[in-house]
Amino acid sequence: MSLLEVQGLEARYGLLSAVRGISFTVTKGEKLALVGANGAGKTTLLRTLAGVHPVARGRIVFDGADITSVSAHRRCASGIALVPEGRRLFPAMTVEENLLVARSARREGMWHLESVLEAFPQLKPKLKTLAGDLSGGQQQATAIARALMTNPRVLLLDEVSLGLSPLAVHAVYDSLGTLLKTKTAIVLVEQDLQRTLDVADRIICMLEGAIVAEGRSGEMTREQVVGHYFGTRPESTTQGATS
Ligand code: ATP
């Protein structure tokens, strides 16, 4: 049974439909990547799944329950966590305080302060540092660690490597290795296509708010994904293409 099911989802900014008729499922432990050019609707889709952007039409079902009108806080408490684009940490609070803030929505599970620090050892010496004083890579690590503190069943990761140096990206993905081996499902938005192909079990290509192709990552070539990314629609259609 799917853990997360999205049915005919639409999300808008005023008259603009940023997400249009999106349907897909995520199973327990699955790593799904959303790929598409700037403005394709990936961030809006993640925000809508997390409950921080309203659903204009369609349904979101999580673990068999309709959560379409459930608040972001309650979604988080039931196991959906978002690592937002731009990290959105509390800059005037320490790393430790940022991590502990997540306790109010915490589920039982393997992730607690000690285990997230094992996964993100670069944060250990920074626990008492203000989040605003961290490097970009350390901030991203803190944002992911904060989301893990809630023990999510689905982790929504938006633009993990955006604005980070190659070294920092490497460090963050090194730490994600532990997470990728767990049964936590991940919906990933990542501009680094090679990392996307390495990490994802399945890929959904989006264009102008809609799904234009989807398939298992091992069965989609880099060229096919790039073609859908730019909307050039390569001739060799991918598995399960919806248009
Ligand atoms: P990016 O990689 O640039 O973040 P994206 O695929 O995540 O792109 P979104 O950020 O979800 O795409 O944007 C989808 C559409 O919604 C775009 O046309 C964008 O201009 C528009 N949009 C995004 N945020 C807002 C906003 N706050 N107000 C109005 N329109 C918005």
Give pLDDT tens digits for 220-229: 888 888 887 7
In which domain, by residue range, is 189 found? Answer: 4-229
* CATH code of the domain containing 97: 3.40.50.300
Q: Can you give the pLDDT at residue 234? A: 55
**Residue 227 belongs to what H/E stretch?**
helix 222-229
Which residues contact ligand 1 via a Cβ below 6 A? Answer: 13, 16, 18, 36, 38-44
Q: Give residue 47's pLDDT.
A: 97
Q: What is the mean pLDDT of residues 161-167?
A: 83
Mean pLDDT, residues 179-198: 88
Residue of 165 and 234 predicted with greater confidence: 165
Q: Say how far apart CA 169 and CA 141 lie, in whole Å.
A: 10
Residue 236 pLDDT: 45
CA gyration radius for the chain? 17
Residue type at 133 in one-letter notation? D
pLDDT at 190 over 60: yes
Is 240 within the bounds of a domain?
no
Beta bridge partners of residue 82, listed in sequence order: 156
Tell me the three state secondary structure of residue 65: strand
**Do you know the residue count of the chain?**
243
Q: Work out the average pLDDT over 4-32.
A: 96
Q: Among 65, 51, 242, 9, which Cα is nearest to 156's?
A: 51
Does 243 reside within a domain?
Answer: no
Q: How far is CA 56 from CA 14, 22, 60, 98, 208, in A?
A: 10, 12, 12, 32, 16
- As a whole number of angstroms, the distance between CA 188 and CA 140 comes to 14
Residue 49: inside a domain, yes or no? yes
Residue 241: inside a domain, yes or no?
no
Given a cut of 80, whether residue 242 has pLDDT beyond it is no
| 94 DSSP 8-state letter | B
- Cβ(185)–Cβ(30) under 8 Å? yes
Provide the sign of the torsion angle of the four alpha carbons 214, 85, 190, 25, taken in this order.
negative
Residue 41 CA, ligand 1 centroid: distance in Å: 6
> Is 236 inside a domain boundary?
no
Ligand 1, residue 206: give the atom nearest the CA.
6
Is 37 a domain residue? yes
Average pLDDT estimate for 120-136 = 93
Q: pLDDT-derived band of residue 233, with 50, 70 and 90 as boundaries?
A: low
Task: Determine the straight-line distance between the first and last CA of the chain, rounded to whole angstroms.
Answer: 25
Please state the atom number of ligand 1 nearest to the C-alpha of residue 19.
14
The CA distance from 243 to 237, in Å, is 10
Pairwise CA distance, residues 180 & 85, whole Å? 20
Name the residue of 43, 48, 87, 196 to mutate for ligand 1: max ligand atoms within 8 A of Cβ.
Answer: 43
* 49-58, 104-113, 128-137, 188-197, range with the lowest pLDDT: 104-113
Residue of 10, 13, 34, 190 to test ligand 1 pocket, by largest number of atoms within 8 Å of CB: 13
19 neighbors 44 (Cβ within 8 angstroms) = yes
Nearest protein Cα to ligand 1, atom 29: 13
Whose CA is closest to atom 25 on ligand 1?
A: 13
- Directed axis angle between helix 136-148 and helix 166-180, to 10°? 20
CA distance 152 to 26: 14
Q: List 146's β-bridge partners, or say none.
A: none
Inside any domain, residue 34:
yes
Residue 9 has pLDDT above 90, yes or no: yes
For a ligand 1 pocket test, name from 38, 156, 208 the mutation site with the most ligand atoms within 8 angstroms of its C-beta.
38
Q: What digits encode the pLDDT tens for the residues 31-90?
A: 999 999 889 999 999 999 999 999 999 999 999 999 999 999 999 999 999 998 877 898
pLDDT tops 60 at residue 106: yes
Count of the separate structural domains present in the chain: 1
Ligand 1 centroid to Cα of residue 107, in Å, is: 31
Question: Can you list the positions of beta strands (E) in the chain?
Answer: 4-13, 16-26, 31-35, 57-62, 65-66, 80-83, 154-158, 185-189, 202-207, 210-216
Ligand 1 atom with the smallest distance to the CA of 36 is 6
